[in-house]
Copies of this chain bind each other. A is one copy, B any other.
Amino acid sequence: MKSVKASAPATVANVSCGFDIFGFAVEAPADEVIVTLTDNPGVTISKIVGDDGRLPREAEKNTSGVAVLEFLKAIDSKLGANIELYKHLPLGSGMGSSAASSAAALVAINELHGNPLTREQLLPFAMESERIACGSAHADNVAPSLLGGFVLIRGYAPLDVASIPTPAELYCTLVHPHLELKTEDSRRVLKPSIPIKDAITQWGNIAGMVVGLMKPDYGLIQRSLHDVVAEPIRSVLIPGFHKIKEEAMQAGALGCGISGSGPTIFALSSERAVAERVGKAMQQQFDLLKLKSDVFVSRINGEGAKILSA
């Protein structure tokens, strides 16, 4: 039967000020899948590499499996599929690991059917698999992983996603300490209401970020990359966060914050050399805490999930 190999990239959700509404894709790391059509209906997962045996092998409990099941149901397919999943994203890292697996599986299964659906139309299936993974059908990782670029989730009722143009010279540094946080736990620490004063600060920064990206105006981006809502609470779960952020800014970053719900920390810079220097400075701090970490530097990935070979 026909097989397709596809990949989907890691993503940074929230992006400091844009809690629950901003997300962007990076170039690496990326999860890969090989999806093969089967004559029997239903979805199987024959192989998962790179998860140390920790992800569920039942399709109904695995994000890539759920996404493909939802797709097949939606197009009323009589065929089934088998998935081989090659994890390159660490689990519980705040880099959109679950989203990348389902995004890759979705572009593969869509390709195998001759692409009946657009990328936007694939989104709800990926969101469904986020519900399985972390308890809420959020789109701020799956949307950028599927669509690429810097994405705004304006709202969910109905789902309204817009791409935000970004300057070509915008680099992301990701530093992933070898720690794990569950999105579910990380959401639980947030307060159900916030002072109106903080809300106004946050939305000034959100608007500033969008204006800064679209003009572009790096100074405005820098002044806008602040989070008074989630970071003050979630940062306590990340050892050394404030010192690491300080070092990133010292090294020339435009801004630095928690990627998604952490513990990965992202920074944005206006030059590759700065982004690499920022990565070294951040990693050094984790080293001092005897925490191993991985560093990834890339531009914003405008492409998102992609077919590698048929």
* A residues whose Cβ falls under 8 Å from a Cβ of B: 18-22, 152-155, 160, 162, 164, 190-196, 199-212, 214, 217, 220, 223-224, 229
Q: Contacting A210 at CB < 8 Å: which of B193, B200, B211?
A: B211
Contacts of A154 in B (CB 8 A): 204-205, 207-208, 220, 223-224
- A–B Cβ pairs within 8 angstroms, 8 of them: A20-B204, A22-B207, A154-B205, A155-B201, A155-B204, A160-B220, A162-B217, A191-B196
Chain B residues whose C-beta falls within 8 Å of the C-beta of A208 in the assembled complex = 152, 154-155, 160, 162
Contact among B19, B162, B191, B223 for A220, CB-based, below 8 A: B162
Copies of this chain per assembly: 2
A217 to B160 CA separation, bound complex (whole angstroms)? 13
Residues of B within 8 A of A201 (CB): 155
Query: How far does the alpha carbon of A224 sit from the alpha carbon of B212 in the complex, in Å?
Result: 19
Give the shortest distance, in Å, between A16 (CB) and chain B (any CB). Answer: 12
Residues of B within 8 A of A22 (CB): 207
Find chain B residues with CB under 8 A from A209 CB: 207
| Cβ contacts under 8 Å, A217 to chain B | 162
The reply to whether A200 and B21 form a contact with Cβ atoms under 8 Å apart is yes
Question: Are A203 and B18 in touch, CB under 8 angstroms?
Answer: yes
A201 to B19: give the CA distance in the assembly, Å. 11
Q: What is the distance, in angstroms, from A305's C-beta to the closest C-beta of chain B? A: 22
Q: Say yes or no: A153-B204 contact (C-beta < 8 A), given A162-B211, A162-B217, A211-B164.
A: yes
